[in-house]
A and B are shown apart, each in its own frame.
Chain A
């Protein structure tokens, strides 16, 4: 999907507003799970690394792409696991442990 510069700026603008709005009213109890979840979502860069490592452009792309995939995948797996563990400590009435 080819985007020109102005359309990309629209996407950036709307995404910034969406991000601001959904984060605005997070309760302070959930700040730490939010940090680790957004960290895991940041690993969407693995998509770029997969394309880089898979297109067969040469050794530099393969090596750098593989290291990037390792880093991003460990973020994904670890991030979702730890966020789920943190949220399991919440009962419906509130958290048992910070």
Chain B
């Protein structure tokens, strides 16, 4: 009758409808528990449909993951009500961890077959996921009062934070740029290349008298200057 891909897609469609209904039903106390039920059924459908995907050859690791996840999840669902904020922060950290790992692995396997924009999007997914992971762990620690409640600062913190952005933006930024000959000479400051009046000329015109902001931007996004970035391979 239907091909198995169609069944999978229709399953996803029903699961999507159930998720939207779940959120809608949660907006009023009368229908709220029905909303939780709809979310559970939708998630079960999505997982069951994915397990029947015909690209999957090895079910052992999936089964191990599902069982271990359930074992960890049950105590997390039984915390005291006063611990709900830190539980929510911890749960955000887990969700971000999942997204980061999936994005990292997809990036590794898709390097030669995905278009450049998709690789940039995957990079952003990994960046934001990792940021959310550590940030949520910090939030959970502070809520649980394991970490000090006051703001944790040190001298030069802002510069370190800004400097930390250099590697992620330098790797992901060039994926979103159109690589023309003029933009390549933008990154190479030792041979001036051909100076033409086009999109990037306002950056180059300020070369001799650039201020700190321009220099910082150039340093941040000049990813292919000294780093081996994935995007530089395209």
Interface string of B127-158 (1 = CB under 8 A from A): 00000000000000000000000000000000
Binds A, one of B90-98, B183-191, B212-220, B221-229: B90-98
- Residue in A25, A44, A86 whose Cβ sees the most chain B Cβ within 10 Å: A44
Which of B23, B35, B43, B98 counts the most chain A CB atoms within 10 A?
A: B98
The contact of A47 among B28, B36, B50, B69, by CB within 8 Å, is: B50
A30 contacts the other chain (CB 8 A) = yes
Are the C-beta atoms of B95 and A72 separated by less than 8 Å? yes
Residue of A nearest to B102 (CB): A48
Task: Report B35-59 CB contacts with A as 1/0, cut-off 8 Å.
Answer: 1100110010011001101011111
Does A92 belong to the interface (CB within 8 Å)?
A: yes
Taking a contact as CB atoms closer than 8 A, the residue among B28, B50, B68, B70 that contacts A27 in the complex is B28
State the A residues within 8 Å of B (CB). Answer: 1, 5, 18-19, 22-23, 25-27, 29-30, 32-57, 60-62, 64-90, 92, 94-95, 97
A-B pairs with beta carbons under 8 Å apart, 30 shown:
A1-B5, A1-B9, A22-B20, A22-B24, A23-B23, A30-B27, A37-B23, A39-B91, A41-B39, A49-B65, A50-B47, A52-B102, A55-B56, A61-B109, A66-B64, A67-B65, A68-B98, A68-B99, A70-B68, A70-B69, A71-B95, A71-B98, A73-B73, A74-B76, A77-B69, A77-B73, A80-B36, A80-B43, A82-B84, A87-B29
- B residues near A, CB below 8 A? 5, 9, 19-20, 22-24, 26-30, 32-33, 35-36, 39-40, 43, 46-47, 50-51, 53, 55-59, 61-62, 64-66, 68-70, 72-79, 81, 84, 87-88, 91-92, 94-95, 97-99, 101-102, 104-106, 108-109, 117
